[in-house]
């Protein structure tokens, strides 16, 4: 992506925005009033591990880009194409309606800009990505699906982030933020925000069996 669309809002700036626009964010699952991105389905999993900064975020999304408000795709459609131009994603322990009240970082708890290396096999296209993030990595695969009429595309996205600090995400729902390259996907600082369910739990700790001595 050409520019960062980080949504870190802390201190007085966040409170000022909250005071100016306390009800500007849409309710759970409703999506913003004007949105280029439609989340058709989502599956979010947060895995907490005992060691610090070893949490894991797993995410599966099915998204559609409707293009600009006028119903057109930008230029050749690249900036509205998640495979061609990548996208921004973030997850917060706060809801969309209360996110601006986050004055103690991290705000959000996870964020990443994902860019893909495209692969074409016949008429099928997919992309792969592996990038450092925080103290860990983000790996992702995107598959281009059949484009619905009147849209700029639909994609299936799988993403895993390792080596994260997600300790403050303790219960669903979570706020999911998405933005395309040109940062005009929705009214929340150019992003779409949706409250989605999340499966949150602890990782499996392998038992220690010690040393087994052979009997004679």
Positive/negative CA dihedral, 179, 35, 92, 105: positive
8 Å CB contact between 45 and 58 = yes
pLDDT computed for residue 36 by the predictor: 86
N-terminal to C-terminal alpha carbon distance within the chain: 65
100 phi and psi, to 5 degrees? -70, -10
What's the rounded mean pLDDT across residues 20-32? Answer: 35
Q: Distance between CA 122 and CA 171 in Å, rounded?
A: 43
Band (pLDDT 50/70/90 cuts) for residue 105 is confident
Q: What is the pLDDT of residues 156-200, one digit of tens each?
A: 999 999 999 999 999 999 999 999 887 665 555 668 899 999 999
Its sign, for the CA torsion 67, 68, 71, 72, is negative
Q: Which of 54, 74, 55 is nearest to 66 (CA)?
A: 74
Digit-coded pLDDT (tens) for 57-102: 999 999 999 887 655 776 554 778 999 999 999 999 999 999 988 8
Q: Any residues with CB less than 8 A from the CB of 40 and at least 6 apart, and which?
A: 62, 63, 64, 154
Instruction: Write down the pTM of the prediction.
Output: 0.78
Domain range summary for the chain, segments of one domain joined by +: 11-202
Nearest-angstrom CA–CA distance, 27 and 196: 11
Q: Which residue has the higher pLDDT, 52 or 189?
A: 52
CATH class, domain 11-202, is: mainly beta
């Amino acid at each position: 992506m050409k520019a960062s669309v980080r949504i870190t809002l802390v201190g007085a700036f966040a409170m000022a925005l909250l005071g100016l626009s306390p009800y500007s964010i849409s309710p759970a699952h409703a999506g913003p009033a004007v949105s280029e991105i439609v989340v058709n389905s989502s599956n979010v999993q947060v895995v907490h591990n005992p060691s610090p900064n070893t949490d894991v975020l797993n995410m599966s999304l099915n998204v559609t880009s409707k293009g600009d408000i006028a119903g057109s795709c930008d230029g050749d459609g690249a900036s509205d194409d998640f495979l061609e131009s990548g996208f921004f994603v973030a997850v917060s322990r706060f809801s969309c309606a209360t996110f601006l009240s986050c004055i103690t970082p991290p705000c959000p708890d996870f964020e990443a800009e994902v860019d893909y290396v495209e692969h074409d096999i016949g008429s099928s296209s997919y992309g792969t990505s592996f990038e450092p993030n925080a103290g860990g990595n983000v790996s992702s695969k995107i598959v281009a699906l059949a484009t619905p009429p009147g849209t700029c595309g639909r994609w299936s996205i799988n993403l895993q982030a390792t080596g994260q600090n997600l300790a403050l995400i303790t219960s669903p729902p979570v706020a999911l933020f998405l933005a395309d390259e040109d940062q005009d996907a929705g009214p929340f600082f150019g992003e779409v925000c949706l409250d989605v369910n999340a499966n949150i739990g602890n990782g499996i700790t392998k038992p220690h069996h010690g040393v087994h001595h052979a009997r004679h």
